[in-house]
Amino acid sequence: MAGTGTGAGGRRGSAGTGAGKAAALARLLHQDCSRLLDLYMEREAFLSEVTVAQERIVTPSPALGRLPPSEQLRLLHSALQQCLGLLQDVMARENEDFGVDDKGEYGRLQNTVKDRLEHLLGSTKLLLVSRDGTAALTPAREVTDGLEKGNSFSLKVWIYRVLQELIHWMLTAWQTLQALQSRREKEPARAARRGRRGKDGLRK
């Protein structure tokens, strides 16, 4: 029956669907992280008057969009791992230094973002699994940039930068996975056209 095969075509279809679901999750995470920053700014309104460094904290590659799709996925997976580590650091430091209530909207949303980010990491890893069932992953570097341990002002600025970083990478993940989904949707059509051209050549 159509759609029940396990050959290369079936794998491409599954991968395409997986990329689409992962892209939808990344888009949802982008909205969640934007809301998380809004809630943080409501609490720390003084940050709107502070000039914050614009350098990226997570920097797997300056030319992500120009790399082959498989390499983009590996580097994206590495960046998402770093983002998860940063979020966990933020949650631990806020609880330790500021006693943030995880039952409030901000705390609940932090937990939601963490859970969804872990899910997105798993989905991205599945997209990287090769035919022999292994995934070639790029090791995530340890992120220490800006992990301030001085005064509370420095810590609050660092948390602000991390939340901005999460927004940036969730948008990057959404765009990268959406482009991958689009490419994989076009693959069956290209294969069909090649097949038709081959048959026409044989008939001649």
| Structural domains present in the chain | 16-185 (1.20.1250.10)
Question: Does residue 188 or residue 56 have the better pLDDT?
Answer: 56
Measured CA to CA, the distance from residue 158 to residue 149 in angstroms comes to 10
Backbone phi, psi, residue 123, to 5°: -65, -40
Angle at 28 between CA 88 and CA 89, to 5 degrees: 5
How would residue 138 be classed by pLDDT, with cut points 50, 70 and 90?
A: low
> Above 70 in pLDDT, residue 204?
no
How would residue 70 be classed by pLDDT, with cut points 50, 70 and 90?
A: confident
pTM: 0.78
26-48 pLDDT per residue, tens: 999 999 999 999 999 999 999 98
Those residues with Cβ within 8 angstroms of residue 126's Cβ, 6 or more apart along the chain or in another chain: 18, 135
Give the model's pLDDT for residue 130: 57
Torsion angle (degrees, nearest 10) of CA 14, 15, 16, 20: 100
Give the model's pLDDT for residue 203: 53
Measured CA to CA, the distance from residue 120 to residue 132 in angstroms comes to 22
Lowest mean pLDDT among 62-76, 106-120, 124-138: 124-138
Closest C-alpha to 106, from 29, 36, 12: 36
DSSP type of residue 66 = G
Measured CA to CA, the distance from residue 27 to residue 175 in angstroms comes to 9
88-107 pLDDT per residue, tens: 999 999 988 888 777 899 99
Give the model's pLDDT for residue 4: 37
Give the model's pLDDT for residue 2: 38
Measured CA to CA, the distance from residue 57 to residue 53 in angstroms comes to 10
Do 69 and 183 meet the contact criterion of CB atoms below 8 Å apart?
yes
Measured CA to CA, the distance from residue 202 to residue 66 in angstroms comes to 38
Those residues with Cβ within 8 angstroms of residue 78's Cβ, 6 or more apart along the chain or in another chain: 60, 137, 138, 139, 140, 141
